[in-house]
Amino acid sequence: MTKYILAGGNDRLYDKFASDLKEELSGLEEPISILSCFFAKDQDMWLESAQEWESWFRRYLGEINYSVMLMEGAEKEISMADIIFFHGGDNDALIERMQQHPGIQEGFKHKIIVGSSAGANYLSQNFWTRSKQEIGRGAGTLPVNVIVHYDARTKEGKLRGTVSEWSKAKRAMEAISTEANLLCLREGQTEVVEL
């Protein structure tokens, strides 16, 4: 069985995300092997992002083996990891880079796959992109449609976007979804899907 953990984004800002993740990973033999995929970011940001995330993983999960997915050798890296974490960023960049690895999802079997923000969008059938105000197409790994950063707030508690934008997003996604497969993921929130 493969466990997928979808997250609404901006995960490190929420203690609940850390506790939810730790709970879902309990029972894995230590040290856990984590592979981070930053394909949704500009390549010149991968090292800095990796350093920040490695520190965060160690703080919340303890001793780990940590590596970063590269364009070359991604299939082998996946085979050696317990957890593959698809981080957020640009949906199009992540999807385009992953399309260069046909069949890579075969390596997901019996692993824990985390998709946050753009990572959740990638794993879904369809997703809402707030920046473009339209539906995007994911890889279809999971039988779900997602809205990430749903009802997101600024640090001051103000709604990011307008109420009408979020209503439009939900209506558009409901039109192509069943109640069971539409996930409106708030920041820091996780949903687990097992296949």
DSSP line for 98-121:
HHTSTTGGGGGTTSEEEEETHHHH
Distance CA 87, CA 191 (A): 15
Q: In which domain, by residue range, is 25 found? A: 3-194
CATH value at residue 153: 3.40.50.880
pLDDT in tens, 53-97: 999 999 999 999 999 999 999 999 999 999 999 999 999 999 999
Q: Is the pLDDT of residue 180 over 80?
A: no
Q: Is the pLDDT of residue 33 over 90?
A: yes
pLDDT in tens, 109-157: 999 999 999 999 999 999 999 889 999 999 999 999 999 999 988 778 8
CA angle centred on 140, ends 57 and 187, rounded to 5°: 40
State residue 178's pLDDT score. Answer: 79
State residue 156's pLDDT score. Answer: 82
* Domains: count for the chain: 1
> What's the predicted TM-score (pTM) here?
0.95
Q: Strand 3-7 and strand 190-194: pairing?
A: antiparallel
149 in Cβ contact with 6 (< 8 Å): no
Q: Which residues contact 166 (CB under 8 A, 6 or more apart)?
A: 150, 151, 159
